[in-house]
Structure 1
Amino acid sequence: MDHRTRYTRIIREEAGRLGFAFIGFAKAMHMDEEARRLESWLNKGLHGEMGYMANHFEKRVDPTKLVPGAKTVISLMYNYFPEQGQTDPEAPKLSRYAYGKDYHFVLKDKLKALFTFIQEKVGAVEGRVFVDSAPVLERDWARRSGLGWVGRNTLLIHPKAGSYFFLAEAIVDLELVYDEPIKDYCGTCTRCVEACPTDAISPGGYVVDGSRCISYLTIELRASIPEEFSGKMENWMFGCDICQEVCPWNRFSTPHKEPDFEPHPDLLSMREEEWQELTEEVFRELFRKSAVKRTKYSGLKRNLDFLREGKKQSE
């Protein structure tokens, strides 16, 4: 067994021990096709007010700009699918990924542990780790490393486990054994396109107008939510899981085993009226270590008020 094969095997085993469900390896190189697609998406203004998406373009499409001498992009998937959901069907909805502790912190610690392990086992390895907070095209790298295909809803779909996963990366100057991409298994299915209430997914799929996505409207957008979306939010107050809920591949989803992703004891049982009467004190208690803090109390109240007005108008 040569050293590349041995290093690849022990890194894969350690990632599994740390709780990552899947890991793949891709050769670090300039992403020509993805660069053209990103440029087109940006030129059409489909990123809305997410100005940061246009920043550091070359870093996004060339991992050697992030790690000089990079040879491998290691992509990892971490399950966040919860065993239980919200109990009141009338309650405003929260995306599943935000039930527990902020994934940025949870996964960053695990990635740092993995990188330390690589350095201990291999020696002088240079690299960096990323969790959805740097200019890295994580879905494209996961696709290149054989972890799934990018579906019509533009999410990475694993053929045996679905799409309820966080993606993370380690870019290293270590040559490893590379995986091959797999084919697209969406076929003729267009359930996600048809189910999206704001028509954010293009008719043929594979392109999302970020400025129409409910996740963007409830999290990224700082201004008032445009009136055209009144009555179309399907009661989502933070994020949205619709295009995942209707995806046939998510019948393979299994509950995560991460204690840090368990919700606050009161969160899932909160009733509609409790959400509408939410105080800043309760917000701080519920979401003390949650990704929901990103929208702040004022942002979540804005979303709740918008949902309530939309409901009134439709009655």
Structure 2
Amino acid sequence: MNIQQRTTFVKKRAKELGFLNCGISKAEFLEEEAPRFEAWLKKGFHGELGYMENHFDKRLDPTKLVPGAKSVISFSFNYYTENQQPEDSYKISKYAYGKDYHFVVKDKLFQLFNELQDEIGEINGRVFVDSAPVLDRAWAKRSGLGWVGKNSNILAKGTGSFFFLAEIISDVEFEYDSPFKTDHCGSCTACIDACPTQAIEAPRTVNASKCISYATIELKNEIPAHFQDRMEDWMFGCDICQDVCPWNRFSKPHQEREFEPHPAIQSFKKKEWEELSQEMFNEIFRKSAVKRTKYTGLMRNMKFIKP
């Protein structure tokens, strides 16, 4: 396979495997992002996410993750759903309705990587699904998948932002896509205005320590008083800044069977969630990303919302 054939093969198979989009960029040091990321850390916007301070060089240089890396293949995978929870319910972010995306998306990436090896021979590379020091949004933008919105999510015309990002970093050359340079947010501040905790401190700058998703998922200690009466019934994650984004009116329901919600998510109201047992938690969220917060974390979140 020549470079063009390899590129065509990867993008065609990505579509066939259910990926929303696929773009490729040259594996090189993220010179533009380095000072921004360093400043974000120095301001303490990562809160108690201590791991964000680790492997600083690896986050900025893909050749430190895959020796001899030449390409970063970026993928987006749709998780938007029209399934809804009852109005009188504690809320769960849409991305966690079904099976944990780490497993679903990673399985597809491994399949694509193995097929690529079958086509062109032994290659060196790794797949990443939000599980290693990779600046996903920087690579998505460089690969032409979209622009960084004011809520710091990647936005794409025609699809919005309800999608996961993932990568294959390899030592194989491909045809590289042009970086996405146009910002289509314009003067809109819907996400900034809607955030109940003022976590978006400036366009494209989110203070994670003020984010409801951080408080309900990542934070292992007591939830700070800053969040009192501002949770808006979110017990796992938060979709507010995405729900209000005008570009998400173009979002279309995903076609991934593994992302279909457990019946309890569509039927349980607050009373049922408050009476949730450890056993029921294990059954409902057996393969779900909600397991990240554990039973004790979910109960803590509900008690904080309703003291």
TM range (shorter): over 0.9
Q: CA deviation at 1:64?
A: 0.3
CA distance in 1, matches of 2:301, 2:263: 23
Question: Is 1:239 the counterpart of 2:237 in the alignment?
Answer: yes
Partner of 2:153: 155
CA distance in 1, matches of 2:225, 2:142: 40
CA distance in 1, matches of 2:294, 2:121: 43
Return the TM-score normalized by structure 2: 0.98
After superposition, the CA RMSD in angstroms is 0.9
CA distance in 2, matches of 1:85, 1:254: 14
Code of the residue aligned with 1:154 in structure 2: it is S
Code of the residue aligned with 1:261 in structure 2: it is F
Code of the residue aligned with 2:274 in structure 1: it is Q
Partner of 2:94: 96
CA distance in 1, matches of 2:169, 2:4: 18
Code of the residue aligned with 2:176 in structure 1: it is Y
Q: CA deviation at 1:35?
A: 1.0
Q: CA deviation at 1:281?
A: 1.2
- Whether the aligned pair in 2 keeps the contact of 1:83 and 1:256 (CA below 8 Å) is no
Partner of 2:284: 286
The 5 Å alignment of 1:26-37 reads 26-37=25-36
Q: CA deviation at 1:225?
A: 0.4
Code of the residue aligned with 2:159 in structure 1: it is A
Structure 1, 169-178 or 226-235: larger mean CA deviation: 226-235
Question: Is 1:126 the counterpart of 2:107 in the alignment?
Answer: no
Partner of 1:313: none
Once the two structures are superposed, what CA deviation does each residue of 1:219-250 show, in whole Å capped at 9, x if it has no partner?
00011001221100111000000000000000
Structure 1, 139-148 or 2-11: larger mean CA deviation: 2-11
CA distance in 2, matches of 1:271, 1:43: 41
Specify the SS of the correspondent of 2:22.
strand
Specify the SS of the correspondent of 1:267.
helix
CA distance in 2, matches of 1:236, 1:83: 18
Specify the SS of the correspondent of 1:167.
strand
The 5 Å alignment of 1:296-311 reads 296-309=294-307
CA distance in 1, matches of 2:84, 2:175: 39
Code of the residue aligned with 1:131 in structure 2: it is V
Partner of 1:55: 54
Partner of 2:135: 137
Code of the residue aligned with 1:141 in structure 2: it is W
Partner of 2:187: 188
CA distance in 2, matches of 1:165, 1:59: 24
Once the two structures are superposed, what CA deviation does each residue of 1:87-139 show, in whole Å capped at 9, x if it has no partner?
x2121100000000000011111110010011111112110000000000001
Partner of 1:71: 70
- Whether the aligned pair in 2 keeps the contact of 1:50 and 1:220 (CA below 8 Å) is yes
Once the two structures are superposed, what CA deviation does each residue of 1:256-308 show, in whole Å capped at 9, x if it has no partner?
01010011122211111111111111111110000000100000000000011
User: Where does the alignment leave 5 or more consecutive residues of structure 1 unmatched?
Assistant: 310-315
Stretches of 4+ aligned residues off by more than 2 angstroms: none
CA distance in 1, matches of 2:233, 2:82: 21
CA distance in 1, matches of 2:192, 2:263: 34
Return the TM-score normalized by structure 1: 0.96
Q: CA deviation at 1:36?
A: 0.8
Identity of aligned residues (%): 58
Structure 1, 55-64 or 269-278: larger mean CA deviation: 269-278
Code of the residue aligned with 1:218 in structure 2: it is T
Partner of 1:85: 84
Code of the residue aligned with 1:36 in structure 2: it is P
